[in-house]
Structure 1
Amino acid sequence: MTVLITGVTGQLGYDVARYLRGVGCDFLSPNRNEMDLSDEGSVKSYIMENNPDSIIHCGAWTDVNKAEVNVNLCRQVNVDGTRFIVDCCKDYDITMLYVSTDYVFDGSGVRPWEITDRTNPINQYGLSKRDGENIVRSLKKYFIVRTSWVFGINGKNFIATMVDLSKKFKTIRVVDDQFGSPTYSVDLAPLLWQILCSEKYGTYHAHNEGFCTWYDLAIEVFKILGTGTNVIPISSNDYRSDVKRPLNCRLGLQSLEVNGFDRLPNWKDAVNRYIKEMTLVK
């Protein structure tokens, strides 16, 4: 099987490529110059010329703040780009795995969201990913995998930001009313491969075990680092932002359980391993 991975310069795409290389799977990892998601001709010519058996679509506009002021650009990548890929999957009988997000939900309530719950995004990023999901569902052979709070060695993320801030400040303010699950791209990559190799098509939720707030995550990071950084909890209302962010990003994992897929290690274990990887890379 030959797998095309989009977004290989990002956190998840990078680790998916690392994992497939490790298991000896042939894969394609085009950069933007080779396959520009916002350009229909670029997408379709690359896929037609390389004829992959499957596509893992990690590539996306993920900057939530900039999506609010660059709506058209965000939708060109997340909606139009996904449509171009889906068109090719229909034409060439290609299986597609689309990586989506907890932001397709509005963040109300406290219970974990299940795949049967109604989506209702509250910002442009979430809306673009939800619309991408709907396009993917026009395929017969598709997987949609929603995840949350992704972190990995090849890109920007909350943990890396906390590490950098701890070098500059002794006290940091972090929101404590948004709940979700930190997800290590190193752990998610093999699960995506496991799902792709099955014929259990449909929608899934996947993340490292357990839930926490951003405040909890910051506390854990500084505990591992031993920096003694003081973290002050604040509400989302006290955090200056022009973007609405869902408070409840908990995703239920029943979809994995009923289909016999592996669940991922606890988020604290994942954070500990990631920080060690950061140290080794540096």
Structure 2
Amino acid sequence: MKTILVTGSTGQLGNELLQLSHLEKDYRFEFVDRSQLNLASEESVRDFFTNKTSSDYLSIINAAAYTAVDLAEKDKHSAELVNVDGPRNLAQYAKSIGAKLIHVSTDFVFDGNHSRPYNETDLKNPISVYGKTKSDGEDSVLEVNPDSIILRTSWVYSQFGKNFFNTIARLSKEKESLRVVADQIGSPTWAGDLARVCFSAAISDQSGIFHFSNEGVASWYDFAYEIVRAFGYHCEVIPIATEEYPTDAKRPAYSVLNKQKFRKTFEVQNVHWKERLYRLVEEVKGQKLT
């Protein structure tokens, strides 16, 4: 049985891949966290892959990342270790054992100045340290191992971990009103759907850059409003401008991804973000969210 290695096993995507692994009986999954495989340490990566061959791993899904967008502005070094050095180390050893690497990236590699969805070939121009490290990580992976897949996605959420969905669900239960930015536009993506896409990529013979998110577009205000509505909470969601909610890192004003290339290549059913959100809320109602 062929094995798929998953790094970043404790994160949103890692947890969803773990759920998926219980359903996929034709492949074996191996999950590792930072304590088992520290991607930022070349020594750790080398030790992990010592004596490993292509018969050990069909592919590797890199779900590990430094995602603290604002903190990265003050701690560039840590962000670079995880988002640039880590993927480069992993790409080198994936190539050495003949395993395909699936590296997950972000819409934040773009500056947000477009008014139409971004294509895979559009010029990258990140406006934050986080975005710059993710962009450099993409480049380092493809430079070392061109047969890899870079999978860019956006606004990832799930019931696991710290994310916008869980934060809004918690706060809207506690507060009478929430002020949420309404002039940043993107596409919310459920981590469970992203996990299925990563799996499809991992067993494919494809390479290069692909974009995936759930269908449709939204502002953070739109997303928050629908979360509150789906849970049935009586909390007013108030739209505000980015200038009214200052952050250390700049965010793209528009970062919708064009998924046409993905649709033509992978046979994975996709749904509108609202449909996916309401399905998820029905599943998690009554559960304690993190």
Is TM (by shorter chain) over 0.5? yes
Per-residue deviation, 1:153: 2.0
1:213-262 Cα shifts (integer Å, max 9, x gaps) = 00001111111111121111111111121210101010011111232432
Q: Which runs of 5+ in 2 are unaligned?
A: none
Deviates more, 1:8-17 or 1:193-202: 193-202
Question: What is the alpha-carbon distance in structure 2 between the residues aligned to residue 73 and residue 188 of structure 1?
Answer: 25
Q: Is 2:250 the partner of 1:249?
A: no
Question: What is the alpha-carbon distance in structure 2 between the residues aligned to residue 61 and residue 174 of structure 1?
Answer: 24
TM-score, structure 1 length as denominator? 0.96
TM-score, structure 2 length as denominator? 0.93
**Counterpart in 2 of 1:238?**
244
**Counterpart in 2 of 1:9?**
10
Please say if residues 191 and 261 of structure 1, whose CA atoms lie closer than 8 Å, have aligned partners that are also in contact: no
Q: Note the 1:68-87 alignment, pairs <5 A.
A: 68-87=73-92
Q: Note the 1:23-62 alignment, pairs <5 A.
A: 23-24=24-25, 25-50=27-52, 51-62=56-67
Per-residue deviation, 1:280: 5.4
Aligned AA (2:19): R
Aligned AA (1:6): T
Aligned AA (1:235): A
| Aligned residue pairs, count | 282
Per-residue deviation, 1:140: 3.6
**Counterpart in 1 of 2:188?**
182
Q: Percent same amino acid at aligned positions?
A: 38
The structure-2 alpha-carbon separation of the partners of 1:75 and 1:251, relative to structure 1 and needing over 3 Å to count, comes to same
Question: What is the alpha-carbon distance in structure 2 between the residues aligned to residue 159 and residue 201 of structure 1?
Answer: 31
Q: Is 2:277 the partner of 1:271?
A: yes
Q: Which runs of 5+ in 1 are unaligned?
A: none
Q: Note the 1:200-219 alignment, pairs <5 A.
A: 200-219=206-225
The structure-2 alpha-carbon separation of the partners of 1:140 and 1:241, relative to structure 1 and needing over 3 Å to count, comes to closer
Please say if residues 106 and 122 of structure 1, whose CA atoms lie closer than 8 Å, have aligned partners that are also in contact: yes
Q: Is 2:121 the partner of 1:120?
A: no
